[in-house]
Amino acid sequence: MAESADRDRRGGSRGGNRGGNRGQRRGGPRDRKQQDRGAPQAERAGKNLPRRIAWEVLLDVATKDAYANLLLPAKLSRTHMGAQDAAFTTELTYGALRRQKFYDAVIEVASSRAIEKIDPEPLAAMRLGAHQLLSMRVPNHAALSETVAVVKRSSPKTAGFVNAVLRRISEAEPAEWLDRVTAETSETTRLAIEHSHPEWVVRALTQALKGHGRDAAELEALLAADNAPAKVGVTALPGLIDRTELPGEPTPLSPIGVTLDTAVPRDVAAVADGRARVQDEGSALVALALAEVDAPAGTWADLCAGPGGKAAVLGAAAAGESLTLEAFDSSEHRVDLVRDSTKALSNVTAALRDGRDARGPYSKILVDVPCSGLGALRRRPEARYRRRPEDITALSGLQRELLSSALDACAPGGVIAYSTCSPHYAETVLIVDEVLRLRAKSGSDDIEVLDAPAVLSSITGTEAESFASVTRDGGRYAQLWPHLHNSDGMFLALLRKAK
């Protein structure tokens, strides 16, 4: 839980300072009145800037389908606020998003209104205030007054409503609210509200654990991990910089990564010049695993390369073998992102092309398919509220076509890595199984499933069984989990084409 140096952000643990610092006075009524009259508006706004930025991001996420992980860093960069305030702003924003379903249930009771009947501006302020009151070490008086002040600037008429609702929320402890909003609900509904996941996601993650051979009893730990703040990860591109040259702590799994305590890694020179990339270590491991497997010499390819993090790691690894990487994406904007991500590498070319039109032959191919993103909810918390069960079905056809294209474009003896940032069984195991079954049925029974957990174990030094998914023809698929590996939930299948 982030704390700022600001006076109103200090205090004891959550619930230990009920009512705030009521007894502390800095002067009589006349002193306070004179302070209020003399305080410049800009100074007040500056003091409350973290809440203002968090409220703006929450509002844009709700009304403009904005992505917090893209919007918030840009806003923080423009303000040049200190590390403590940046961390406070980040916790306000991501915390309110991660626990939004729980806060919405509380707000509905406290306001006696359905969430859809509350306008976006006051609702964003209520979510922001609820997070401070129920999950952070912010004194009640500060959570109330400063949050109301934010919405009062833009929507004065609703400030009283926001104030009244937040006061009602402050009258009970978090556990009391949880009991109240989950009374007489099913176990699935209780978990969905307590951990702020849509019920269909709770059911899908239960099925995913079972499908990948894990115990469904891990579900609550997995849901909790999605709500744990993830540190910023930075990957040192092999051959360009060693991770010992980067600030931060070495990542426990990826041998080329570090984690930073700062919310904005703008001051890391290697990130700015392209020798290092902001990247979760799970994503780095997917690229490292493909680079690790032996294959005939030849050009490598990344068929769905945007925004370019895995392409940068692959390109750096290919450069170490004097090989080239061709990176493609079907979006011009994402191709531009790939070019920026790989700007420090001269052996990478990025081009606009649909991955279903891969030509080859390539000795190594990464096909990191578009997916639901259910494995990255701790970094993109709003995604859980935007996805629908039908999205899985809509994406499955594209995923099958991309993998089939990669298999066709692979050179004899070459290796394909199929990956998703999701543990959903229908996006992972079922896709690879079906494509291989249809390929064998058509007479092309030329694909060997490699032991992906063993490859990850050789890279990380971690027991292979922790990555294990299902076994197929002597090989195994791999699945990373936020609650086990403290990484995004990446799925990986390594497939070799017969010579």
pLDDT tens digit sequence for 163-220: 999 999 999 999 999 999 999 999 999 999 999 999 999 999 999 999 999 999 999 9
Phi and psi, residue 404, nearest 5°: -60, -40
pLDDT at 14: 44
- H/E stretch holding 55 reads helix 49-64
Q: Give 194's Cβ-side CA count (13 Å radius).
A: 22
Helix or strand run (H / E) with residue 478: strand 475-479
The predicted structure's pLDDT at residue 263: 56
Terminus-to-terminus CA distance in the chain, angstroms? 54
Nearest to 342 by CA among 317, 366, 367, 322: 317
Q: Does 307 count as an annotated binding residue?
A: yes
What integer pLDDT is reported at residue 83 of this predicted model?
A: 82
Nearest-angstrom CA–CA distance, 342 and 340: 5
Q: At 261, list the tokens.
A: 């305590």
Q: Which of 105, 222, 421, 468 is catalytic?
A: 421
| Res 43: pLDDT | 41
157 assigned binding-site residue: no
Q: How far apart are CA 405 and CA 309, in angstroms?
A: 22
pLDDT of residue 44: 47
Instruction: Note the helical H segments in 378-420.
Output: 383-386, 389-409
Answer positive or negative: Cα dihedral of 285, 286, 287, 293: positive
The answer to whether residues 111 and 302 touch, using CB atoms and an 8 Å cutoff, is no
What residues contact 495, with CB distance under 8 A and at least 6 apart? 407, 415, 416, 417, 418, 432, 436, 447, 448, 449, 450
Helices 199-211 and 219-226 meet at what angle, rounded to 10?
A: 120
Bridge partners, 390 (sequence order): none
CA distances from residue 397 to 159, 190, 327, 444 in whole angstroms, order as listed: 48, 33, 22, 20
Told to judge if 410 belongs to the known catalytic residues of this protein, a careful annotator would answer no
**Exposure of 53 by Cβ count < 10 A (0-12 exposed, 13-18 middle, 19+ buried)?**
buried
Classify residue 451 by its DSSP letter.
B
Question: DSSP character for 254?
Answer: -
Q: What are the helix (H) ranges across 156-211? A: 156-170, 174-181, 187-194, 199-211
**Residue 354 annotated as lining a ligand binding site:** yes
Q: Is 40 annotated as a binding residue?
A: no
% of the chain residues with pLDDT over 70: 90
Report pLDDT for 253: 97
Q: Is 304 known to sit in a ligand binding site?
A: yes
CA-to-CA distance for 173 and 351, rounded, in angstroms? 55
Q: What is the predicted pLDDT for the residue at 82?
A: 85
Burial of 326 (0-12, 13-18, 19+ CB in 10 A): buried
Question: Binding residue per annotation — 47?
Answer: no
Is 226 annotated among the ligand-binding residues?
no
Strand partners, 451: 476
Residue appearing with tokens 């992980």? 69
Distance CA 323, CA 10 (A): 54
Residue type for position 466: S
Please count the other Cβ atoms lying within 10 Å of the Cβ belonging to residue 300: 27
Q: Residue 433 corresponds to which tokens in the numbers above?
A: 């199984």
Residue closest to 413 by CA, chosen among 335, 307, 321, 497: 497
Residue 53 is given by DSSP the state H
Q: Is 305 annotated as a binding residue?
A: yes
How far is CA 345 from its chain centroid?
A: 26
Bridge pairing between strands 348-352 and 325-329: parallel
**pTM listed for this prediction:** 0.88
Q: Is 411 annotated as a binding residue?
A: no
What pLDDT, on the 0 to 100 scale, is given for residue 80?
A: 81
14-45 per-position pLDDT tens digit = 433 333 333 333 333 333 333 333 334 444 45
Cα dihedral sign for 459, 462, 468, 472?
Answer: positive
From first to last of its 499 residues, the chain has per-residue pLDDT tens of 433 334 344 333 343 333 333 333 333 333 333 333 333 444 445 668 999 999 999 999 999 999 998 899 889 888 888 888 988 999 999 999 999 999 999 999 999 999 999 999 999 999 999 999 999 999 999 999 999 999 998 888 899 999 999 999 999 999 999 999 999 999 999 999 999 999 999 999 999 999 999 999 999 999 999 999 888 899 999 999 999 999 999 999 999 999 987 655 667 899 999 999 999 999 999 999 999 999 999 999 999 999 999 999 999 999 999 999 999 999 999 999 999 999 999 999 999 999 999 998 999 999 999 999 999 999 999 999 999 999 999 999 999 999 999 999 999 999 999 999 999 999 999 999 999 999 999 998 899 999 999 999 999 999 999 999 999 989 999 999 999 999 999 999 999 999 9
Tell me if 310 is assigned to a ligand binding site. yes
Please tell me what DSSP assigns to residue 112.
T
Measured distance CA(156)–CA(152) in Å, rounded: 4
Burial of 192 (0-12, 13-18, 19+ CB in 10 A): buried
3-state SS, residue 299: coil
